[in-house]
Amino acid sequence: MQPTLEPLPALQPITADNVRQLELLRTLPIPGYKPSSVSQCSLDFSPDGALLAGVCDYSTIPVWEVLDGKLKYTLLEAASHDVSIVFDPTGLVLAVGGFSGEIRLFDVLTGKALPKYASLPSQVWDLDFSPIGDQLAASTFSTGAFLFKYPGGEQIWSNGERGRVGVLSVAFSSDGNQVALGRITSGLMVLAQIDGSMITELHIPAPVGDVAYSPDGQWLASGSDDNKIRLWAAADYSLANTLVGHSGFVNGIAFSPDSSLLISGSHDHKIGVWGVSSAKRLIFLEGHDNAVLRLDFNPSGTLIASISWDGTVRLWGVKDN
Q: How confident is the model at residue 79 (pLDDT cuts 50, 70, 90)?
A: confident
- 181 has a pLDDT exceeding 60: yes
Task: Report the C-alpha gap between 203 and 111 in whole angstroms.
Answer: 41
Short-list 66, 86, 85, 72, CA closest to 25: 66
Number of domains observed in the structure of the chain:
1
- 3 has a pLDDT exceeding 70: no
Other beta carbons within 10 Å of 196: 19
Task: Report the C-alpha gap between 74 and 31 in whole angstroms.
Answer: 8
The whole-number average pLDDT for the span 310-318 is 97
- 159 has a pLDDT exceeding 60: yes
pLDDT tens figures, 210-269: 999 999 999 999 999 999 999 999 999 999 999 999 999 999 999 999 999 999 999 999
Q: What are the backbone angles phi and psi of residue 162, rounded to the nearest 5°?
A: -100, 20
Task: Report the C-alpha gap between 228 and 166 in whole angstroms.
Answer: 20
C-alpha dist (Å) from residue 194 to 109, 157, 158, 197: 32, 9, 11, 8
Q: How confident is the model at residue 161 (pLDDT cuts 50, 70, 90)?
A: low
Q: How confident is the model at residue 288 (pLDDT cuts 50, 70, 90)?
A: very high
Of all residues in the chain, the percent with pLDDT exceeding 70 is: 98
Residue 307 lies in a domain: yes
- 104 has a pLDDT exceeding 60: yes
Q: Is the dihedral of CA 108, 112, 117, 123 positive or negative?
A: positive
Q: By 3-state DSSP, what share of the chain in percent is helix, strand and coil, each rounded to 5? A: 0, 50, 45
Residue 6 lies in a domain: no
Task: Report the C-alpha gap between 96 and 302 in whole angstroms.
Answer: 26
The whole-number average pLDDT for the span 289-293 is 96
Is 162 or 65 the better-scoring residue by pLDDT? 65
Q: Is the dihedral of CA 124, 212, 171, 151 positive or negative?
A: positive
Q: Which residue type occupies 320?
A: D
Residue 2 lies in a domain: no
Of all residues in the chain, the percent with pLDDT exceeding 90 is: 90
Q: How confident is the model at residue 163 (pLDDT cuts 50, 70, 90)?
A: low
Task: Report the C-alpha gap between 113 and 73 in whole angstroms.
Answer: 13
Range of the domain at 284: 11-319
Task: Report the C-alpha gap between 247 and 249 in whole angstroms.
Answer: 7
Provide CB contacts within 8 A for 17, sequence distance 6+.
none
Q: Which residue type occupies 62?
A: P
Average predicted confidence (pLDDT) for the chain:
95
Task: Report the C-alpha gap between 220 and 307 in whole angstroms.
Answer: 22
Q: How confident is the model at residue 164 (pLDDT cuts 50, 70, 90)?
A: low
The whole-number average pLDDT for the span 59-86 is 94
pLDDT for residue 1: 54
- 160 has a pLDDT exceeding 90: no
Residue 19 lies in a domain: yes
- 138 has a pLDDT exceeding 60: yes
CATH number at residue 146: 2.130.10.10
Q: How confident is the model at residue 308 (pLDDT cuts 50, 70, 90)?
A: very high
Residue 1 lies in a domain: no
Helix (H, G, I), strand (E, B) or coil at 209: strand
- 4 has a pLDDT exceeding 80: no
pLDDT for residue 35: 84
CB 63 within 8 A of CB 76: no
DSSP code, position 161: G
pLDDT for residue 187: 92
- 282 has a pLDDT exceeding 70: yes
Task: Report the C-alpha gap between 31 and 45 in whole angstroms.
Answer: 18
